Chain A
Amino acid sequence: GAGVSQSPSNKVTEKGKDVELRCDPISGHTALYWYRQSLGQGLEFLIYFQGNSAPDKSGLPSDRFSAERTGGSVSTLTIQRTQQEDSAVYLCASSLRKYSYEQYFGPGTRLTVT
């Protein structure tokens, strides 16, 4: 079956602009995760969704970052007023349920803020 998909694959934006990153999880997976991968910080957790609710959003680095999930499926990560330090690869993962533990990753979105 289809894996986790993310769009766009690459995004270049100017400092100060808003961006939206999309994640389509594997069908039927109730848990969805966002991570950020950057040279200086490695792989960092951002937010976790169970269904449409986000019981753990402790990894969001600032209030410029927000995320939502609708219909228990698609998720959007929004970064407002982008800064150069936001440049990174944003990875989405999904798992069958909260306690299944195996997370399947999408190919990521490479965000470059100029």
Chain B
Amino acid sequence: AQTVTQSQPEMSVQEAETVTLSCTYDTSENNYYLFWYKQPPSRQMILVIRQEAYKQQNATENRFSVNFQKAAKSFSLKISDSQLGDTAMYFCALCTSGSRLTFGEGTQLTVNP
């Protein structure tokens, strides 16, 4: 069975600052993918970034980057130069065997002006 844990229910950050969201996971499989999804109040789940477990290099997408620690089963998301539009619920998710996504509980991020 796969599990994903996000231990920070809520976080806040000032506009233009950097924030890190934490995620830990557990799986017995060697091949898997990890994702961060963003869900604004509109309810639309938006893919932010993905990481292949076999890649040692951390994924980066513009202001978003991850710190993937495979041995520790940790997958944190760093948002640089935070913007008001980054305010949303962020979900960490694990995918194995090309099938279902297992989600964490979510972290509500608020960016303050």
Contacts and interface: CB of A to CB of B under 8 A. Distances in A.
Nearest to A44: B103
Nearest to A59: B100
Given A43-B91, A45-B100, A104 B33 contact: no
B106 A56 contact: no
B47 A107 contact: no
Interface in A26-68: 31, 33, 35, 42-43, 45, 48, 55-56, 59
Interface residues of B, number: 21
A89 B101 contact: no
Secondary structure at chain A's binding surface: helix, strand, loop or mixed? strand
Given A43-B91, A107-B43, A107-B44, A98 B103 contact: no
B45 A105 contact: yes
Nearest to A105: B45
Interface string B25-51: 000000001010100001111110010
Interface in B77-103: 91, 95, 98-103
B109 to A, nearest CB: 17
Given A42-B103, A42-B105, A43-B103, A104 B98 contact: no
Interface of B: 33, 35, 37, 42-47, 50, 91, 95, 98-106
